[in-house]
Every structure is written in structure tokens, then in C-alpha cells.
Structure 1
Amino acid sequence: MTNSAPAAAIDRAPLPREPRNIGDITPAPPQVLSTLPYDRSEHFSVWKARISSLSDVGLPDGKSLAEGFEVEYMNCNMAEVVFNSGYFGTQTFKCLPRRLRRPAINHWFLFHMRSGEAWFETGERRIHARPGAIFLISLDDDFRGRIRDYDGQLLILPREAFAAAVGDGLDRLSNILLSGSLIELLCDYLRDLETRVVRMSPDELGVAGRATVEMIATCVRPSLDRLEQTGASLESALSRRARIHIQKHLHELDLTPEHLANQLGISRSKLYRAFEDVGGVTGYIQRQRLHAAHAELASNTDKQVQEIAYRYGFNFASDFARAFRREFGYSPREARNRQRR
């Protein structure tokens, strides 16, 4: 174990269960929590009970309960945040079932790694974190991940503590490896804070907790700004890709949002966001089909209206006629007659 927490200055204590309302606890001096005072076969069940209100944890394949499970870390409640630093054995994480999620456990994990590795997946984001990495995981997201021989800091951040400072900004930064000069400053701050909390009174810990919230919020803002700029650029590129694909496949009956998302390798939610400004992807596909059908009606007088309607995804001529009239203000036959005249 490479835990750099000042364990010699703090009494080692067995693991209690993690309190559910973390942000409501009175600040208290830190203590070292450990699974080691328990029988080896109980190590993991004790740790699982400790963290059960925040995340569902498991052992990696092939790991036996009889082998023991080492966790030893400094825990310090600072009212606004919970500061943990130490060693956490190899384990898996995944979000709690939705029926167990409550506003009272609406938090983020902030990881700052000294050694070990971490892998996390949330939606389309996947990271592989190594020593020196710092990243956030929203416990309200559908996520899964694992850590291997993790030594470092793990802060628990209640959502309400950050609402005024960054709104939902931390959610948008979830599962991204953070970088930049201010992130490096935040890492230095957290390392320094770890050495100082052991000498703080409860009142000082409360003040330091509020300062830590402000420090985190200030240091992640540039990352949030970059993400928004990059997101706008990527969304524009995605919209162009999607529109080109739609135009090429207007005749295919399975041209649906689900099929389009699969073809582009993106989530449906991301696809929907890319078409918000034009009334949605379903409406956009139908409008493009109607305009293509209008052009074909005007240029090809030999084909029946029903044949053209079916070619552009309408099984019934009556459905096609209603949609056509809503779009252009006149019927398909009127469109053909206008062209003939």
C-alpha cells in the first residue's frame, strides 16, 4: 500500500456505513478508516456496506472473498465536501438502480490519482485514467467502471454545494480527463489540503470545505468552456453527417431515428439534440422525403401518386396526401397539374 495520508497522526478505525445525507454532517477531524481490523473474509462485505448508499461495488472476476480486500484511507467530512485519501483495492463500480437513487444521494465522485488505473464508461464517454489523472463521475448517471490498486484522493461532492457556482456544469464534465493550468493548480491544492486537514478545528474544516467548493468550481470552468465550444463544433459536424446520410437514403423504409443513430454510431439523445433547431429528426426526415416526392411529381408524370408515396416511406396515399398538404398547402395531384400547366 502506498497511501500517503498522515495515518500516524490519526487513529485507525473500522468502517462505518457511509451516511446518506453527506452534505448535512457537522465537520469533524479526520480519521483513518480501514477494512484491516476485520476478518479477511469480511473485508469486502464491510466495504460494500460502507459505500452502498453511493454506488454498487463488486469484485473483479476471479477474486475470492477469502483473499481479503484492502481499503485504508483518511476520511474527513468538511460539510461541503467529503475528503478521502488513501488506498482502495481493485473493484468494480456501477450506478445504483434508479429505484434506490434519491436526491439525498445526488453526488459526484472526484478522482485524483497517485497510482493505479481506472476505467469508466458513461454513455458514449470512455476513459482510461493513469497516475496524475483527475476526473469526475456523476453518481446520477448510468455508469460503470473499475479501479485497479487505486491510491489517491477521492472526494465526494454533494450537488447542492455546487448549484450556485457552476449549475449543472459538473454533469457536463462527467467522465472526462480534465487538464489545463488551473486543473494542475487544483491538484496542488488538493495535495496541500490533505496535509493540513489533520490540524484543523471543526470550524476551520467547515470554512475549508466551502473554499474547496469554490476552488473546484473555479478550476473546472475553463474545461467547461472548452467543452461547450468543442461540443458546438462537433454537433455541427454531426448534423452535417446525419443530413448527408438522410439525403442518400430517403428511399429506405427503415430510415428511422434509431436506424440513423446506429449507422452514425451515436446515441439517440445526441442525434435528437443535433436536430432540435429544425423541429426534430423525425420531422426533418419526413420533410426531406416530401420535398423529394414533390420534385419527382413535378418531373415524372408517368408514375402514379401512390407509387411515389410508397417510394418515400408512405404506405398509404391518404397519409401522403395529408402530409403533403400540410407541408405545401396543396395536394400531390395539384402539384402535378401545376407542373403540366
Structure 2
Amino acid sequence: MEANEQPPRKDRKSSPSERRRFPRPERAASDEALQPPALQPLRFSTRDLEPAAQFAAWQAYVAPLVDVRLPDNTPQDASFPADHIAWNLGGMLIVQQDTPPHSYMRSQAKVKANLIDHWHISVLRDGRTWTEVDGHVLEGEPGKVELRSLGHPFRGRSTEATSLSLFLPRELLFDVPTPVEIENNIALSGVFTSMLIEYLDSVEDNLSRFAATDLPHVVQTVRNMIVASVSTSAAQSTGVEQHSALAVTERVRRFVESNLTSGELTVEQICRELGISRTRLYQIFEQYGGVHHYIQRRRLLSAHAALSDPANREQIIDIAFAVGFSSAAHFSRAFSKEFGYSPREARNLTIPRYVGQVASPTSPGGNHSFEEWLKTLGYYH
């Protein structure tokens, strides 16, 4: 598909003229000339492939997130025309997606194998979904906003559907007002949720026109509207045990992020400061490969952000020590294992802040992919 070609999109429930719009801030003509559009999307479509190869290509593309299957009794060589357009706003990813019917699963093994544990916000434009988390099934339909954690297993199925998805790093929602705690696999409701949908309509229509200076404000506005929706929604009714585990997990995540650079960030310190037992801590973080593994991965991501920042000219060894590694050799081995390239190569990536990149996920020359955007989300802002 050509870079400037828009894939076919299904008609929505309401036309653009029927939806209220949040106007973009007005700029003088000279300001517009100085601020060209900042975002260029990462596009993937199976439509140009042979029908028999379409589903396998889609499986491979979404593999970092979920495993997908065709509906029962559907031949594996059946056509699967699907479109995926990702936009990287630095502190948030926006994905426009069209897919035929399929089922999906984010297994415990997949959660444990990668570091993609963001919040996923889903808005269906048309179609229906059914997503199950720990026995609780949430039905998605147009007009609903669903929120779930990518750090917890789920599975479900979808009819032919068009959707808008947001991927938000957990840090973005760390300071939700107390005593509100975000629960998993919920449908948001209320006036703020309606306002959120209207605002996302406007954001989607302006993705190709936003200037770089717009993007932090867009991310912050979306974040504030989600927090307001969560705080006022009456749809938070998951089980007490799951709620307790998720609350403790979020507290540990916040503590780890606040103390990444400390050489004294240990299991003992976490348990002491948060008042939880080692057994409880190990149980909750077993799905992430253990507490030590989780901390190391967060440190590696912090180092990756520093190395990829064109304005940061610190020595690699200084960056390694700053994020809590005590050995240059250990840091280099761990970094290469996590990202598939060395710290020195990461320095040459120079991923720009708040700017999306055009890159083919399968191109050997491309520095970026949707998987990399997911992994490093939230570290370039």
C-alpha cells in the first residue's frame, strides 16, 4: 500500500458532520508554516497479498500483542483483508484497525515473555467483541469504551469490526485520584465517557495535521478525560481478589518507576516500604518473570530512552550506572538480549520525541516497528 494511500474504511454509525468537533487551537499563518505535520503513520495491510497468505501475515504482525485464529470451520487459506494504521504520539499510540471475524488471546506465556503491559483503551466504530478476563466477559459494541490491561491474560472473539485503540503506558495513569483504582476489563460510562468519544473522533480526524507542539497537549487531554471517565464510571465491578492483586501491582510499579536509579532498589526495600510480604510480591509478579526480571526490564527501557535521545550525550557506561546497573558487561548483554541490538546501535537510532516514523515492519532497513513502538511507549516524552 502506498504511504499516502488511505485504506478503505467502513462507514461509521454517524457521519463526520453529525459529530461534534473539538476545534484545534488556531494559529497564525506564519506559525502554521513553521510547524509542519509531525506524525507519519506506520501502515500495514494484507489487502495487497494473495488471499491465501493474508491471515498468516496478520498473525505475524499482531503476534507481539495477541495470538489470533480464524473462526471455527473457516479454511486456513481463506482471505483475511485487514488494515492497521498506527500513530506514535510519544506518550500514547493510536491504532485504527479494520478486521474480518477472528478470535484472539493474550496468554499467560505471552504476558510473561514480553514487556508490553500498557493500558489498552478500545472504541468500536462498528462490529462486536466479547473479551474474557478471569471468567468475566465484557461485550464490546459501538458507543462503549473498554479498558483493560495488557499485563494480564485475556481472550475473546470479534465479528467483522472497525476500531480505534489507544495504548497508554501505565505511568500516564499512575496519579488517578484516590480512592479510585483502575480495574481491569471494564466498560467506561457516563458523561465524561461520551465526551471522550467525541474528543477521540476529533483527534482521529486531525492525526495527519497535528504539529509537534500539539502532541503533548493531545496526550495530556486524552489522559485527563480517561481519568475523569474512570473516576465517575459505575461499571467497575470486577472480583475483590483480582482488584486487590491489581492494586498491589500498580503500587509496586509506581514504586519501581520512582526508584529505578537507586542502587538499593531491592525486594526487601519494596516489601518494607509498601508493607507486603515477599511471598505475596513473588506471587503477583510471577507472571512478569519475577520481580528482579521486571525491575531489570524497566531499567533497560529507561536506558534505551536515554541512549535514543539525540540531546543526551552521556557515555554509555554512565547511562548504565545511572539506571542501576553495576557492570558494563552485564548491561550490554542484558540490553542486547532485550532489544536485539547493542547499546551503541541504540544510540544511532535517534528516535525523535513525539514524532511517528514511517517504516515497514518487515523491511530489513527499517529501524522501527509496531512492536518496538509498543515496547518503548512512554519513554520518549
**Corresponding position: 1:82 with 2:121:** no
* Unmatched tracts of structure 1, length 5 or more: 6-26, 236-268, 274-341
Give the corresponding residue for 2:51. 40
* Unmatched tracts of structure 2, length 5 or more: 1-7, 13-37, 246-381
Residue 221 of structure 1 aligns with an amino acid whose one-letter code is S
Give the corresponding residue for 2:191. 181
CA distance in 2, matches of 1:31, 1:272: 38
Higher relative contact order (CA 8 A, sep 6+): 2
Considering only aligned residues, what root-mean-square deviation do their CA atoms show, in Å?
3.2
Q: Normalization by structure 2: what TM-score?
A: 0.49
CA distance in 2, matches of 1:115, 1:40: 24
Residue 175 of structure 2 aligns with an amino acid whose one-letter code is A
Give the corresponding residue for 1:3. 10
SS in 1 for 2:202: helix
Give the corresponding residue for 1:208. 218
Q: Normalization by structure 1: what TM-score?
A: 0.55
CA offsets, 1:194-247, max 9 Å, x none? Answer: 001110134433442233222222222111xx456x67xx97xxxxxxxxxxxx
Q: 1:98 offset after TM fit, Å?
A: 3.1
CA distance in 2, matches of 1:134, 1:36: 28
What does residue range 218-297 of structure 1 map to in structure 2 within 5 Å?
Answer: 218-223=228-233, 226=234, 269=241
Report which of the two has the higher share of helix: 1
CA offsets, 1:270-301, max 9 Å, x none? Answer: 7999xxxxxxxxxxxxxxxxxxxxxxxxxxxx
Q: 1:132 offset after TM fit, Å?
A: 1.8
Alignment equivalent of 2:81, drawn from 41, 62, 70 = 70
- Inter-CA distance 89–271: structure 2 relative to 1 (3 Å threshold): closer
- Inter-CA distance 175–100: structure 2 relative to 1 (3 Å threshold): closer
Q: 1:32 offset after TM fit, Å?
A: 4.2
Give the corresponding residue for 2:171. 160
Contact 1:109 1:154 in 2 (8 A): yes
What does residue range 41-120 of structure 1 map to in structure 2 within 5 Å?
Answer: 41-98=52-109, 101=112, 104-120=115-131
CA distance in 2, matches of 1:98, 1:118: 23
Give the corresponding residue for 2:143. 132
CA distance in 2, matches of 1:109, 1:169: 18
- Inter-CA distance 109–270: structure 2 relative to 1 (3 Å threshold): closer
- Inter-CA distance 121–169: structure 2 relative to 1 (3 Å threshold): farther
CA distance in 2, matches of 1:208, 1:37: 33
Residue 216 of structure 1 aligns with an amino acid whose one-letter code is I
- Inter-CA distance 211–102: structure 2 relative to 1 (3 Å threshold): farther
CA offsets, 1:123-157, max 9 Å, x none? Answer: 13212222222211222222110111111212222
Alignment equivalent of 2:205, drawn from 188, 192, 195 = 195
CA distance in 2, matches of 1:165, 1:272: 16
Contact 1:117 1:129 in 2 (8 A): yes
Bigger Rg, which one: 1
CA distance in 1, matches of 2:242, 2:58: 37
CA offsets, 1:165-186, max 9 Å, x none? Answer: 46996751x2222211111111
CA distance in 2, matches of 1:137, 1:164: 17
Q: 1:86 offset after TM fit, Å?
A: 3.6
Q: 1:103 offset after TM fit, Å?
A: 6.7
Residue 219 of structure 1 aligns with an amino acid whose one-letter code is S
Contact 1:3 1:73 in 2 (8 A): no
CA distance in 2, matches of 1:271, 1:216: 19
CA distance in 2, matches of 1:165, 1:187: 20
- Inter-CA distance 140–90: structure 2 relative to 1 (3 Å threshold): same
Number of equivalenced pairs: 213
CA distance in 1, matches of 2:194, 2:244: 36
Contact 1:3 1:86 in 2 (8 A): no
